[in-house]
A and B are shown apart, each in its own frame.
Chain A
Amino acid sequence: MTSRTLALLVTAFFAVIVGIVFQQIHTSMHEQGIASGGPYDNAAAYPRAVAIAIAALVLVQLLADFISDRKETMRLPPDAFKRAVGLLVVFAVYLCCLGPLGYHLTTTPMVFAIMFICGARQFGKMLIAALVMSFGFAFVFEKFLNVVLPGGVFRLNIPW
């Protein structure tokens, strides 16, 4: 991936953000009647100004990226790339399952999977570490900080 592709990616990100701002001003905020008037009633003027500032700055930056002849190529070893994506996927799946399945059923497998992605292969040690980490944190947060961790559909909560 080159720095130029990244610059385009960031520009696209901000284009979407600025687009959302204007779309919301013209639909939702207009319907609520808060897109016009004085400072008491007009909630749109300030976000519009900030969005315009972002758009202008991003354009200047984009221009600069293309004028400058510096073109770095960032190369990530395929292994490292796989690990990064693997971590994100495992974490995303974990967060999605946390609500329906609850903390206690999901956390140990997540920790185990992350260690596996990192390259650890001593399964017994990993399992113990995963159990200690997930139940240890649950104990501290539920016992001392009064947090009710997600129980999921099975309502799995440990009364410490």
Chain B
Amino acid sequence: MLFESLLAGFQLFLTPLAIGLTFIGILIGLLVGAMPGLGPLMGIILLLPVAIGLPPVAAMGFLIAIFVGGSCGGSISAILLRIPGTPLAAATLFDGYPMAQKGRAADAIGIAISASAIGGLIGGVVLISASPLLAKFASGFAPPEYAMLAITGLFAIAIISGGSLIKGLISGCFGLLLATIGTDEFSTGYRFTFGTHHMLNGFHIVAVVVGLFAISEMVYQVIGNDLLKKPDIKVERPGFGSLLRTLRHWGNLIRSSAIGVFFGALPGAGGVISSFSAYAIAKSAAKEGEKYGEGAEGGVVATESANNATVGGTLVPSLALGIPGDASSAMLLGALLILGFVPGPILFEQEPEFVGGIFLVYMASNVFLLFAGILATPFFVYVLRIPKFYLIPIILILCSIGTFALQASVFDLMVMFGFGLVGILFRAANYPLAPIVIGIILGPILENNLRRALLISREGYWIFLDRPVSATLVCVNVLLVAGALYYACRNRKRFFTKQEV
């Protein structure tokens, strides 16, 4: 069954468009990853409007490749500029930058890219083998299970992801609320539409997310002082020899990738946590003579393989259950829905060839990452030299055309601008933005399945305890809340204020 779907997926993937876009996606991903302040999520958001006009496998290949490339690109600027392009690469700084100072920048970048690609491929093996099993297990899930699962996802994201727990929950609830705007499916009544037909289906998720993330980011960029400056960096040319150097750290590679996959599959965790954990474990397991923090290759291998393996891990619950692991995979789920596919067990049942195609584009993008990353590094160095005053208007045009193109609606542009202001307020007050996206995606799953479960039930809320899986999830949710409260009492500071990573 798995083999068949992969085989069928080949036919969808082996088109010039799909392969070409996966390759371009890697380049764009590396680019947005390398540019400080952007990152894989922003890349996905900015190019989603482009993707949804494409054939499905090509579109998903494009977006997944941006996710994969973006999770690696940050290491380039971390090593060369000492600025991690994304928080994912923050731990790569520890050993990557000292390596560069010792004149081994090209080696460091080569190792970072090779480790990312191998970590990504290991994550892919887990994705391909585990997600069909999870989907099969979940095929008996009915509305009660999905309602409980959505609650688990939401709690896990607020509790595990860094930052203030309360603020995370508030952001998540705000997302849930935004998801209620529009026509209610059950009563067929209109909620919060204020009598305008533009809001009959709620705000378009892309308009909201572009505003929240991209517009607010541009305002934050323009506050900086380095708008005209061209960073002075030397062009580095890594070679394929670094692949061999990386493979010498095979134990570290496998261990760190496993850590990455685990944190990826856990809703709410994700790349930052996994790269820091992998680094810490690699450091404690270091052999004598390996000086972590002073330019040890093992440090770069650990962080970069972990954060790319996370991508494979995070796609497991996203595809198999329709429950996103982080904001980037939430956007991928949004794209799937817009393209007309319903993530979850029915995707595996009804569209096996499409699932196979997704697996293949994921694996291919990691292979492309290795080649494109090593060959095109000089190009990214040139791009890093482009001053920001060119970059900001480019992104603003992309935001405007992209958002407009969704439904050819000027109203969506107003929504985007409004949420840009909300994004600025949230950033200034240290409220995380990612839970909003996750709330928007989980909102309809939670509400509709809750109400569906109650309609199906003949004895009210007992339906959640009558079914074994649903009852287990209820227990998990209770434990999560109890754990969070216990943690809150013990560590009041972390409960209220932002944790510095």
- Do A and B touch (CB < 8 Å)? yes
Which residues of A are at the interface with B, using a C-beta cutoff of 8 A? 1, 3, 6-7, 9-10, 13-14, 17, 20-21, 24, 28-29, 32-34, 38-44, 46-47, 50-51, 53-54, 57-58, 60-61, 64-65, 68, 70, 74, 76, 80-81, 83-84, 87-88, 91-92, 94-95, 98-99, 103, 107, 110-111, 114-115, 117-120, 129-130, 133-134, 137-138, 141, 145-150
A68 and B173 alpha carbons, distance in the complex (Å) = 24
Known A-B contacts A40-B455, A146-B53; the reply to A120 vs B174 at CB < 8 A is no
A145 and B53 alpha carbons, distance in the complex (Å) = 7
CB pair B167–A61 under 8 Å, yes or no, is yes
A53 and B325 alpha carbons, distance in the complex (Å) = 23
Known A-B contacts A80-B223, A87-B219, A145-B405; the reply to A115 vs B414 at CB < 8 A is no
Known A-B contacts A111-B397, A133-B394; the reply to A21 vs B187 at CB < 8 A is no
In the complex formed, the residue of A with least CB distance to B492 is: A64
CB pair A115–B389 under 8 Å, yes or no, is yes
A70 and B492 alpha carbons, distance in the complex (Å) = 14
In the bound complex, residues from chain B placing their C-beta under 8 Å from that of A114 are 389, 392-393, 396
CB pair A107–B404 under 8 Å, yes or no, is no
In the bound complex, residues from chain A placing their C-beta under 8 Å from that of B388 are 118
Q: Chain B nearest CB: distance from A11 CB in Å?
A: 9
Stretch touching chain A among B105-113, B188-196, B253-261, B262-270: B188-196
Q: Chain A nearest CB: distance from B216 CB in Å?
A: 10
Q: Chain A nearest CB: distance from B135 CB in Å?
A: 28
In the bound complex, residues from chain A placing their C-beta under 8 Å from that of B420 are 88, 91
CB pair B405–A147 under 8 Å, yes or no, is yes
Residue B380 lies at the interface, judged by CB distance under 8 Å to chain A: no
Stretch touching chain A among B115-123, B446-454, B474-482: B446-454
CB pair B167–A80 under 8 Å, yes or no, is no
The 8 Å CB contact of A61, one of B166, B190, B394, B413, is B166
Which residues of B are at the interface with A, using a C-beta cutoff of 8 A? 50, 53, 164, 166-167, 169-170, 173-174, 176-177, 180, 184, 186-187, 189-194, 215, 218-219, 222-225, 227-228, 388-390, 392-394, 396-398, 400-401, 404-405, 408, 410, 413-414, 417, 420-422, 425-426, 428-429, 431, 447, 450-452, 454-455, 495-497
Give 11 CB contacts A-B under 8 Å.
A10-B426, A13-B425, A43-B189, A47-B191, A61-B167, A61-B496, A87-B222, A91-B417, A111-B397, A118-B389, A120-B228
In the bound complex, residues from chain A placing their C-beta under 8 Å from that of B394 are 133
Q: Chain A nearest CB: distance from B297 CB in Å?
A: 39
Which of B166, B191, B426 gathers most chain A CB within 10 Å? B191
Query: Assuming A43-B191, A53-B169, A137-B401, what are 13 further A-B pairs, CB within 8 angstroms?
Result: A1-B428, A33-B189, A34-B184, A40-B186, A61-B164, A64-B495, A88-B420, A98-B404, A107-B397, A118-B228, A118-B388, A119-B227, A146-B53
Known A-B contacts A6-B428, A83-B223, A130-B393; the reply to A46 vs B447 at CB < 8 A is yes
A101 and B164 alpha carbons, distance in the complex (Å) = 45
In the bound complex, residues from chain A placing their C-beta under 8 Å from that of B422 are 13
A3 and B393 alpha carbons, distance in the complex (Å) = 30
CB pair B389–A50 under 8 Å, yes or no, is no
A120 and B417 alpha carbons, distance in the complex (Å) = 24
Known A-B contacts A13-B425, A61-B166, A92-B417; the reply to A147 vs B189 at CB < 8 A is no
The 8 Å CB contact of B401, one of A41, A91, A149, is A149
In the bound complex, residues from chain A placing their C-beta under 8 Å from that of B177 are 17, 21, 47, 50-51, 54
The 10 closest A-B pairs by CB, nearest first: A34-B189, A118-B389, A43-B184, A39-B451, A34-B187, A64-B496, A111-B393, A147-B405, A118-B227, A39-B454
CB pair B166–A60 under 8 Å, yes or no, is yes
A82 and B394 alpha carbons, distance in the complex (Å) = 21
A17 and B176 alpha carbons, distance in the complex (Å) = 13
A13 and B400 alpha carbons, distance in the complex (Å) = 25
CB pair A50–B496 under 8 Å, yes or no, is no
In the complex formed, the residue of A with least CB distance to B416 is: A95
CB pair A9–B454 under 8 Å, yes or no, is no
In the bound complex, residues from chain B placing their C-beta under 8 Å from that of A61 are 164, 166-167, 170, 496
Q: Chain B nearest CB: distance from A126 CB in Å?
A: 9
Known A-B contacts A111-B393, A118-B389, A133-B393; the reply to A95 vs B417 at CB < 8 A is yes
In the bound complex, residues from chain A placing their C-beta under 8 Å from that of B223 are 76, 80-81, 83-84
The 8 Å CB contact of A119, one of B189, B228, B390, is B228
In the bound complex, residues from chain B placing their C-beta under 8 Å from that of A117 are 222
CB pair A43–B187 under 8 Å, yes or no, is yes
A74 and B392 alpha carbons, distance in the complex (Å) = 24
In the bound complex, residues from chain A placing their C-beta under 8 Å from that of B413 are 95, 98
Which of A6, A99, A145 gathers most chain B CB within 10 Å? A145
